[in-house]
Amino acid sequence: MSSPRQAKRAPSVGAPMDRVDGRLKVTGGARYAAEYAIPNLVHAVMVTSTVAKGRVRAMNTSVAERALGVIKVLTPFNAPRLPGAPKPGPHAPSAEPGPQSVSGSGASAGQGAQGPAARGAVAMRLPTLLQDDVVRYNGQPIGLVVADTLEHAREAADLVRVTYDVERPVLDWTKAAAIPPEQVHPLGGERTSRRGDVEGGLAAAAVSVDHTYITPLENHNPMEVHSTIAQWEGDSLLLYESTQGIFSVRNTVARHFGMAPDKVRVVAYFTGGGFGSKGGPWSHESLTAMAAREVGRPVKLVLTRRQMFGPVGGRPRTEQRVALGAAHDGTLTAIRHHSKSTTSTLEDWVEPATSQTRLLYACPNVETQYDLVRVNVGSPTFMRAPGESTGTFALESAMDELAYALKMDPVALRLKNYAEQDPESGRPWSSKSLRQCYESAAARFGWSGRKAEPRSTRNGRWLVGWGMATATYPARRGAAGAVARMLPDGRAWVRAGTQEIGCGTYTSMTQVAADALGIAPGQIRFELGSTDMPENPASTGSVTAASTGSAVHDVATALRQKLVQLAIADPQSPLYGVSEDAVRTLDGRLTTGGDRGETYVALLARHGGQPVEATISTRPGAETQQYSMHSFGAVFTEVWVDPDLAIIRVPRVVTAHAVGRILNAKTARSQIIGGVVWGVGMALEEETLIDPRSGRYINADLAEYHVPVNADIGTIDVAFIEEPDLHVSSVGAKGIGEIGITGVAASIANAVYHATGKRVRELPIRIEKVLS
């Protein structure tokens, strides 16, 4: 049945509406996981290992147990056994079932490392839950101290003395043994992908490049560290959790304790950034629940900044070799992209760095391959644009090198090899406006004025360089549910079990619901963040706008339809007997135009003053097998480099992205700005350093782990190419959280080469690398 129409009015969707939760955040009214005042609450602090490999022979807790305020000290020797704790040893994480499974882009649905829905789902990790005495990395949780105050718990944790049987760790990834190829399964797919004859294509090339690009270990460092409050109520568990996936935490903790999932409720109304590190549960959630059950009181555990390095993941190191061959006119004849990355001794995590290479450019001969080495570090995980951020650095740097070898403009080279359909699957794009992105960003940047020769442009004593790169990220959508209720006073209440991780979900979903119901955004109350709401995917892989957005749009549309049907079937309604298709909605009023119509308030008052409710569950359909779904963009960067000191400045970045319908112009712009800022950090600053003797994370704080500050960032000019994509989602959105970082590091590296003539192929681009 067709849905009732809306009268013409300025739509809420797309407008730069202020955040509906903004006042709560700036006044302290928004409560994050660690901020709930729970009666009788006590505090826990993790004890972590100081060696990278071995066994815990003994833990002397006697002094700690006698310390002031201490209630309990848990160790591998006295911790309760958890019936569903995973067995130790390397595991390939698998995706959660149900709505956590995410479709799109034609990815393989096989099992294996990271499972069938790795980006939109939260993997089943192998957490360290005090179930054995094995130490697998430096910083691993090996104990938990519970005390009446945080200060007492910290002091007692320092009093625990640990004796180890130390073994020699594997920390040098160049000497680490490779995991057998048959055990490497990125994103649930195959280790190797081939089409055509790559060797023949390279041999036939008039011009070729073949280089290796390296990206380092990196860590997320969200402003809010990971935090959990666990409270038992009989045999039921309530968790206040800093997470990107409330249902993933619920399901995993329930499994660890042998409980039915509906016995665990997870609440996360606000999360202070996650960027992938909070995409799924780690050790601390179940350890907090364990402690709370042992002491019979609610327990709060807040990780220290140092504990954000190791126990909750990071981006692994990659070494990527890219070979490109082309004819004299720039037509690609072959692409080979091999990536080797690090993983832990706990999980077989593969950084999917070659994903974009298989589809970004039209080329008949393409080969990609993954290799994996195991080292004694914490398990890697999703980190903003996992795979594409690292992979576009390698691929787009190589494309720039090929452009120089061909004496061809880098934009022209990309347009020469523009893929009009997905070259991997042969499917048409659900939408693609990359060509327009190139045109928009290049024009605003002034690319036509670029001098091709390196070191040819100066601003005073500074060397000036211009670089560009392509951005891309898959458009995915997962199964999601929502409930909507029209209240007698004309306000609407909409709920969906998603997460607010700083992207503006409260606001954008309010706008979607308002337009679908034909009422002002101020009349909508949108709620999220609890597992007693309809299930939605984890907020990873840029799936929320498409997944939750579709659910909210569809449930609000269904509710509006119910109300229209109620009116046209009511003899007392001015709309009685009118065709459903003829009814429009505007400002809380059902009308056929003119004076004929009535308000939602009048309609409900005549029907007993009771709310009307609709519930819906949505999921992707056959379109995921009919179209290739991706977002695209272009990044143009200017750098200044001091010719003597090699200091690098980034005075401006110009971007254009095609990411489906923009739900909120202000928050969408903020997402791209955030991605670009992170891309600057990735290119020039970020690297996690590990002591090669002990495996200790050396720079595990914000003083030594360098991220961009205001002084590092110049002008960021953001533009969008509007392309509502109803194949991806009923709201037309593709998602925007990840694509902003992709291509940025390569664009900066390419600009540094243009400025200096020095090609730096290892991130971060430091002074000594430019001077060497």
Question: What CATH number is attached to the domain comprising 756?
Answer: 3.30.365.10
In the prediction, which pLDDT does 237 show? 98
Do 648 and 754 lie in a common domain? yes
Going across the sheet that includes 524-527, the strands are: 524-527, 492-495, 480-486, 612-618
Into how many domains does the chain fold?
2
* Catalytic entry in 224, 319, 351, 738: 738
Q: Name residue 363's beta-bridge partners.
A: none
Do 501 and 456 lie in a common domain? no
| One-character DSSP codes across 634-683 | EEEEEEEE-TTT--EEEEEEEEEEE-BS-SBHHHHHHHHHHHHHHHHHHH
Q: Using the predicted structure, report yes or no on whether residue 220 has a pLDDT greater than 50.
A: yes
| Any domain includes 631 | yes
Do 638 and 667 lie in a common domain? yes
Do 490 and 602 lie in a common domain? yes
| Any domain includes 724 | yes
The pLDDT confidence band at residue 126, using thresholds 50, 70 and 90, is: confident
The pLDDT confidence band at residue 117, using thresholds 50, 70 and 90, is: very low
Do 757 and 693 lie in a common domain? yes
Do 516 and 627 lie in a common domain? no
In angstroms, how far is CA 344 from the centroid of its own chain?
21
Q: Using the predicted structure, report yes or no on whether residue 119 has a pLDDT greater than 70.
A: no
Residue 553 sits in which domain range? Answer: 5-21+480-618
Judge whether 508 and 496 are in contact, CB under 8 Å.
no
Q: Where are the alpha helices (DSSP H) in 258-409?
A: 284-295, 388-406
Do 625 and 595 lie in a common domain? no
Do 580 and 522 lie in a common domain? yes
* Domain termination site, one of 618, 644, 668: 618
pLDDT per position as a tens digit, 267-314: 999 999 999 999 999 999 999 999 999 999 999 999 999 999 999 999
- Mean pLDDT for all residues in the chain: 94
Strand pairing category for 462-474 and 630-641:
antiparallel
In the prediction, which pLDDT does 90 show? 55
| Any domain includes 194 | no
Q: How far is 112 from 42, CA to CA, in rounded Å? A: 40
Do 512 and 570 lie in a common domain? yes
Tell me the one-letter amino acid at 586. L
The pLDDT confidence band at residue 234, using thresholds 50, 70 and 90, is: very high
In the prediction, which pLDDT does 381 show? 96
How far CA 619 is from CA of 510, 527, 546, 616, in Å, comes to 21, 20, 10, 10
Do 509 and 591 lie in a common domain? yes
Judge whether 658 and 436 are in contact, CB under 8 Å.
yes
Tell me the one-letter amino acid at 64. A
Q: pTM (2 decimals)?
A: 0.95
* Helix H or strand E encompassing 341: strand 332-343
| Any domain includes 569 | yes
The pLDDT confidence band at residue 595, using thresholds 50, 70 and 90, is: confident
What is the end-to-end Cα distance of the chain in Å, rounded? 69
Q: Return the sign of the alpha-carbon dihedral for residues 638, 642, 646, 651.
A: negative
Judge whether 342 and 316 are in contact, CB under 8 Å.
yes
In the prediction, which pLDDT does 10 show? 87
Closest CA to 250 of 481, 547, 530: 530
| Any domain includes 162 | no
Judge whether 104 and 26 are in contact, CB under 8 Å.
no
186 upstream amide cis, omega within 30 of 0: no
Strand pairing category for 584-586 and 5-6:
parallel
pLDDT per position as a tens digit, 699-746: 999 999 999 999 999 999 999 999 999 999 999 999 999 999 999 999
Do 658 and 613 lie in a common domain? no
Going across the sheet that includes 332-343, the strands are: 192-195, 366-374, 332-343, 318-326, 207-215
The answer to whether residue 738 is catalytic is yes
Do 632 and 766 lie in a common domain? yes
**Mean pLDDT score, 586-615:** 95
| Any domain includes 745 | yes
Q: How far is 22 from 356, CA to CA, in rounded Å? A: 36
Tokens 């099992």 correspond to 111
Q: Using the predicted structure, report yes or no on whether residue 402 has a pLDDT greater than 70.
A: yes
Judge whether 555 and 577 are in contact, CB under 8 Å.
no
Q: How far is 161 from 143, CA to CA, in rounded Å? A: 11
**Mean pLDDT score, 400-422:** 98
* Domain termination site, one of 618, 640, 662: 618
**Mean pLDDT score, 372-377:** 97
* Domain termination site, one of 618, 651, 683: 618
| Any domain includes 633 | yes
Q: In 10 A of CB 329, how many CB atoms? A: 10
**What six digits make up the tokens of 231?**
């409270």
Q: How far is 613 from 625, CA to CA, in rounded Å? A: 33
Residue of higher predicted confidence among 588 and 89 = 588
Q: What is the DSSP letter of 758?
A: -
| Any domain includes 88 | no
pLDDT per position as a tens digit, 746-758: 999 999 999 999 9
| One-character DSSP codes across 381-435 | ---SSTTHHHHHHHHHHHHHHHHHHHT--HHHHHHHTB-SS-TTT-PPBS---HH
